[in-house]
Structure 1
Amino acid sequence: MYGLDERREQVFQYVDELNDQVALAKPSLEEWSIMETLEHLYLMEKYIVGLINHAIQHGDVRQSEEKPLHRITDRSYKVQAPEQAVPNGEFTSLSEVKAAMERNREATMFLIHNKEAEVLQNRTFPHPAFGELNLEQWLEFLGWHELRHLDQMKDIQGKLQ
Structure 2
Amino acid sequence: MTPKMQEIAGELDKARRGLLAAVQGLSQAELDARPKPDSWSVGEVMHHVSKIESGMIGMLSKLALPAIADGLPKDPAPEQSVLSMVEHLPVLDRTQRITAPEFVRPTHGISREELEAGLARTRGELLAAMEQADGYDLSGLSRPHPRFGPLNLYQWLALSARHEQRHTAQIAEAREALAAGAN
TM-score relative to the length of structure 1: 0.86
Q: Distance in 2 between matches of 1:98 and 1:12?
A: 9
Aligned to 1:109: 127
Which residue of 108, 114, 118 maps to 1:89?
A: 108
Deviations 1:104-158 (A, max 9, x none): 0111011111424333222111112221111111111111001101111111111
Matched AA of 1:34: V
Quote the residue 2:75 is aligned against: none
**Residue number in structure 1 paired with 2:162:** 144
Q: Could you tell me which residue of structure 1 aligns to residue 117 of structure 2?
A: 99
Query: After superposition, where does 1:25-40 map in structure 2 within 5 Å?
Result: 25-40=33-48
1:5 Cα offset (Å): 0.6
Quote the Cα distance in structure 1 between the aligned partners of 2:55 and 2:39.
22
The residue type paired with residue 15 of structure 2 is R
Deviates more, 1:147-156 or 1:47-56: 47-56
The size of the alignment, in residue pairs, is 157
SS of residue in 2 equivalent to 1:126: strand
Match of 1:7 among 10, 15, 28: 15
Report the alpha carbon displacement of residue 58 of structure 1 after superposing the two structures with TM. 4.9
SS class of match (1:159): helix
- In 1, the alpha carbon distance for the partners of 2:156 and 2:115 equals 22
Once the two structures are superposed, the pairs formed by residues 11-160 of structure 1 within 5 Å of their partners are: 11-58=19-66, 66-68=85-87, 71-89=90-108, 91-92=110-111, 94-160=112-178
1:46 and 1:28 map into 2 onto residues whose CA distance is 27
Structure 1 stretches of 4+ with a deviation exceeding 6 A read none
From the superposition, tell whether residues 91 and 77 of structure 1 become closer, same or farther in structure 2 (CA, over 3 Å).
Answer: same
How many Å separate the matches in 2 of 1:130 and 1:144? 13
| Structure 1 unmatched runs, 5+ | none
Q: 1:11 to 1:116 in 2, by over 3 A?
A: closer
> Superposition RMSD on alpha carbons, in Å?
2.2
Deviations 1:42-100 (A, max 9, x none): 111112321222111456x8xxx9343563010123322121110122612x2320111
- Contact 1:39–1:90 at 8 Å: present in 2 too? no
SS in structure 2 of the partner of residue 29 of structure 1: coil
Q: Which moved more, 1:114-123 or 1:81-90?
A: 114-123
Counterparts of 1:155 and 1:96, CA distance in 2: 23
Separation in 1 of the partners of 2:33 and 2:86? 35
